[in-house]
Structure 1
Amino acid sequence: MSRTSESVHLWPAATAEDKLSSIWNGLTRHPWRLLALLCLTQIACWTIMPALVNVGPPNDVVEGFMWGREWVLMTYKHPQLPCWLLEISHLLTGSFRWPQYMLSQLMISTTFVLVYLLARDIMGSTRALAAVLLMPSIYFFGWPTPQFNHDYAQMPFWAGISWLLWRAARDGRPGWWLALGLVSGVGLYAKFSTALLLAFGGIWLLCDTRARSRLATPWPWLGLAVFLGIATPLAVELFRLDFLPLTYAAHRNAWVLANRARLYYIGVQLAGLAAVPVVLALSGLLRRQARPAQDPLPTYAPPERRAVIYLAWMGLGPALLVMIASLFTGAGESWGATMYNLVGALAIALLGHRLGQKELRRLTVLALLCVVGVSSAYAATRWSSCNIRGRLQPMCWPARSISQTADAIWHETVPGPLGIVGGHDIAARLAGLEAPDQPSIFTTFDRRLAPWITDQRLRDQGMLLVWPKGWKLSPQQRAWTDGLPVKTVSFDWSLKAPPLDINFAVIPPGRTSFPGDPAGPPDPE
């Protein structure tokens, strides 16, 4: 009786273990399935968690929404592809709450896929999967991603350029060169710093003997023609704007030098990569093996030396150059976010001979734990920061309530639509974000920074001036509001902190004079 009972209890356990083993074997035989699982987990966790806790979008996202509705080619900061994507996401969904988070994760997941394709060409599909499984342990693929901006919009372009250049140089087929020219050109519309990767790619193309031989064919030059055709409108617009994006970059770098420690940028980059060696150690890839793994992966020739050099050059070259430059010029802490796409691929290219089923299984578990754990920590930290610690961060601002109040105050005074908002940049952008009339933002009251605002529009439409209590208007702006009623509204934003008081002043249509333009771009927020 005892033996029968024991067999009854042990058999289901063995069956469950067999099922798990069968599922795992199926996933490792088809690595793209594990890749799909990672991408879906990334999209789900990093879309749902921020959408649950962030009452207002991050600063760059609000700015992107407000600029996207203008459909300009370029602003004083950057080309506008990310802003167009944000506007499209709103037009498709009607929401300002969650689409931007999903959009950012679609960019991250696309980057995962493109890195997988490059690594697969170099070292096979299983090791390519291992390379991607290391990526969630990099800080820049997790915590900062809810703030969709130009850094994250360009991320898949960096991975795509690296893959297409390798493919084009390897195969020499015209389609790869044309695709490379297309992706390289469009990548500039995401952010001008894509040109840094193109420069490194061009140097590699000239230095690698096999790749350089392709220049004797017409296809690289045809790809270059495609690139130039796409990039030319940006060059024309940059000239028309008197190179304001370059002025902004110099202004931003000067601000960093004046307000950050000399090694600040390098410290942030190293901290963002700190978890990678930890994951490598926990997975067993840093442990020297005295004998081959008992459960080896499908055999694949080790990557050739030129492939490892390529991964190191394209994957670390731009990042190291910016680190060195930051010592002398300054650099925004997030500007390197897109430069670490190939860190995992380089690590596996060097350590892949130690990779077995056990190590791959550990990498999978650690990658999923990183995605789920870090996104959960993000949600807990953001919620407690607003509601328990009472720290007023951009994500705490009650965006929808501010927009609804701004719209109501405007229409109490003016029968026409709310066309322009201005004032304190954060408050004014939020006032216009979800207003039904879709107003334009008058950035720092500077017509160079907001070229869609003209004197005629100001006279015809007026403006709603918005600023938080305690923020000082300039003398010109105070003169602008003389004689106008100022309405102060309190907004609850925290369970612990007092309400946020915001002032609204309606400047009706017909005003004939407005403040002049300030001397330069605003200080970074």
Structure 2
Amino acid sequence: MRLVYAGVLDLRTDEAYYWTWSKESALAFLDHPPGIAWLIRFGTAIFGDTNLGVRFGGIVAMLVTQLLLADIVRRVTHDVRAVILVVLLPEAALYYGLLMAKVSPDTAMIPCAVAMLWSLVRLHESGNPRWWLAAGLFAGLALLSKFTAIMLLPAVAAFALVPDWRRRWLLSPWPWLAALIAVVVFMPVLIWNAQHDWASFRFQFVRAVATHQLSFRTIGEFIGLQFGLVGFVLLPVVLSGVTLTAWRGYRAREPVAILLSTAVLVPFLYFLWKSLTLRVGDTWPMFLWPAGFAATAINLVMLPREGWPDWIVKSTFWWARVAVISGIAFVVGVFFYYVAAPWNLIGRTDPVGGEAGYEQVVARAEMQLQKTGATWIATSDYRTYAMLRWYFNGRVPVIQINERGRFQGFRDPGMKAIKDHPGLYVAREPDHRLPLWDLTTAKRQPLERVERVWRGIVMDTYALEKLTGWTPDLSPPPDSPLFRWRVLAGGEGRGVSHS
């Protein structure tokens, strides 16, 4: 089902944006580390520049994540039922059962983060300190995919310091060697940032510390998203399983229970707190729930072993079954809605339809290129830039004229075809009327307006204009309005990378 979804549905704008990264040789990028670019390059090396090629890494990441979760639960419980359950739980969550086919930095990070947890479970099981080194390697790979992997550090610290073995590890070189390995693996990002005035760290820091007024809308959106993307029944099942696991772990100082529960609760409570004033992106909490699935499956086995009343044990198993059955049914329903149904039931806010239909814009742009003799395309937002570059795929240079800080270290897009040649400006209305045009010598001639339509509903309207008398500066100084990137309120929205 995920393979069909990956192959049939048009790329979303962020996916196309990350695909453009996969065509570059930069060590890192303004928005994120390079892990997602490497994952996409892996898929396109097999299937080419196709929808499936871009998304294939997410299919593999889901499989690897499930295998690691199954092994974690097997080693802790030695119970086949728990192993089957932990494999089914992500299938019952829309986040993973379907949307792991939609690549994002989180998709690249999740198997690495789970592999780090798996290494620490192996450490507890075997007592072999060399598993610290594996944990450090996977921690570094997780950070190479997304900075939010650092939010798992409290779980690792609690795993090492709360149980009775804390003195052993504090005096041992192994955890410190693991930390050193993680830093060495993360070195490409450090080198890139040192060369570019620590741009990606400053970019993320601004978003992390941004303060806004208290908003019940944003916290409602966050909670609603978690119910929708984890599961209306599955979310409370997982949260209750994680809470009991945390109670069990900290009460008995049990390392694995501490590790898994803290890996969920600390990031979840942080995002809940941030949602009071900030719109939390839909994929931001995606990395924390796999540990919750493992904790939930383990908790089901531990309840009868600890002598809990039969009615509690039976009720817990019943709710787990309902969560799996209803969740998988919901995932399948969403799959058929997007793949086979002809309707748009959500309107312009549809998360998939809102980013579909760009082939209509591309067709009109191609026609205007032929009519006007333009040899390159200009845009002024990264979403339009990404989709046009995806569809034209090197046939015509596509340039985002502003926010050039996003493209540091990118290769020459083809300046010979740009310099002293007319261009075609493609921009979503009303954003095409940017004041920065007053800073250039460009002459703009309106050509036409194009509607982007999905299932009969107009999602956006685009203006097409001919550009003459100007060649864009691809490397403006950092204090130039053409260099600076925008960070909008909430960290997610048009014109800002949010994943």
- If the TM-score is normalised by the length of the shorter chain, which range does it land in? 0.7 to 0.9
1:134 is paired with a residue whose SS is: helix
The Cα offsets for residues 452-496 of structure 1, whole Å up to 9 and x where unpaired, read as 469996576355421135443223426758545443364663453
Which among 300, 307, 317 is matched to residue 266 of structure 2? Answer: 317
Aligned to 1:276: 234
Indicate whether 1:376 and 2:346 are aligned.
no
**How many angstroms apart in 1 are the aligned matches of 2:85 and 2:193?**
41
Distance in 2 (alpha carbons) for counterparts of 1:306 and 1:61: 38
Residue pairs, 1:126-525, within 5 angstroms = 126=80, 127-142=82-97, 144-173=99-128, 175-210=130-165, 212-214=167-169, 216-253=171-208, 257=212, 260-261=215-216, 263-264=219-220, 267-268=223-224, 271=227, 272=230, 274-276=232-234, 305-327=254-276, 331-352=280-301, 353-354=303-304, 367=324, 370-371=327-328, 373-380=330-337, 387=344, 391=348, 395-396=352-353, 397-403=356-362, 405-407=364-366, 409-410=368-369, 418=376, 421-437=378-394, 442-443=399-400, 445-452=402-409, 461-462=418-419, 464-477=424-437, 483-488=443-448, 490=450, 493-497=453-457, 501-505=461-465, 507=467, 511=471, 516-518=480-482, 519-523=484-488, 524-525=492-493
- Identity within the alignment, %: 17
Q: CA deviation at 1:58?
A: 1.7
Give the CA deviation at 1:258. 5.1
Larger Rg: 1
Q: In terms of mean alpha carbon deviation, does 190-199 or 331-340 score higher?
A: 331-340
- Which of 17, 28, 31 aligns to 1:74? It is 28
- Alpha-carbon spacing, 1:168–1:444, altered in 2? closer, same or farther (3 Å): farther
Offset of residue 163 of structure 1: 1.0
Residue in 2 that maps onto 1:47: 3
Distance 2:374 2:226 in 1: 55
Match of 2:51 among 67, 73, 97: 97
Give unpaired runs (5+ residues) of structure 1: 1-44, 281-285, 287-302
In the other structure, the counterpart of 1:64 is 18
The counterpart of 2:69, out of the listed 97, 103, 115, is 115
Q: Distance in 1 between matches of 2:63 and 2:413?
A: 45
* 2:15–2:104 contact (8 Å) kept in structure 1: yes
**Contact 2:397-2:414 at 8 Å conserved across structures:** no
After superposition, the CA RMSD in angstroms is 4.2
Q: Determine if contact 1:150/1:190 at 8 Å carries over to the other structure.
A: yes
Please give the alpha-carbon distance, in whole angstroms, between the structure 2 residues aligned to 1:259 and 1:79: 31
Q: Residues 65 and 83 of structure 1 are in contact (CA less than 8 Å); yes or no, is this contact kept in structure 2?
A: yes
Amino acid of the structure 2 residue aligned with 1:461:
I
Segment drifting more, 56-65 vs 358-367: 358-367
Q: SS at 2:147's partner residue?
A: coil
Separation (CA, whole Å) in 2 of partners of 1:367 and 1:188? 31
Give the aligned residue type for 2:133.
L
Q: Which amino acid aligns with 1:477?
A: W
Kept in 1: contact 2:113–2:138 (CA 8 A): no
Counterpart Cα distance in 1 of 2:262 and 2:412: 50
- CA change 1:269–1:78 in 2 (3 A) is same
TM-score for the superposition, normalised by structure 1: 0.72
| One-letter amino acid matched to 2:357 | P
Q: What stretches of structure 2 of length at least 5 have no aligned partner?
A: 239-243, 245-251, 306-312, 494-499
Is 1:256–1:330's contact at 8 Å kept on the other side of the alignment?
no
Matched position secondary structure for 1:437: coil
What does residue 7 of structure 1 align with? none
Q: TM-score, normalised by structure 2?
A: 0.75
* 1:249–1:257 CA distance, 2 compared to 1 (3 A): farther
Return the offset for 1:341.
Answer: 1.1
The 1:68–1:409 alpha-carbon spacing in structure 2 relative to 1, beyond 3 Å, is farther
> Which whole-Å CA distance do the structure 2 matches of 1:342 and 1:268 have between them?
21
Post-superposition offset of 1:237:
2.1
Distance change >3 Å, CA 259–CA 109, structure 1 → 2: farther
Q: 1:147 to 1:512 in 2, by over 3 A?
A: closer
Distance 1:124 1:308, change over 3 A: same
How many residues are treated as equivalent by the alignment? 456
Contact 1:386–1:493 (CA under 8 A) maintained in structure 2: no
Give the 3 Å change call, closer, same or farther, for CA 522–366 of structure 1 in structure 2.
closer
Q: Distance in 2 between matches of 1:332 and 1:362?
A: 28
- With over 3 angstroms needed to count, the CA separation of the structure-2 counterparts of 1:227 and 1:212, relative to structure 1, is farther
* Cα displacement (A) at 1:65: 1.2
1:488 is paired with a residue of what secondary structure?
strand
Does the CA-based 8 Å contact 2:115-2:138 persist in structure 1? yes
Q: Using a 3 Å threshold, how does the CA distance of structure 1 residues 467 and 201 change in structure 2: closer, same or farther?
A: same
CA change 1:505–1:158 in 2 (3 A) is: same
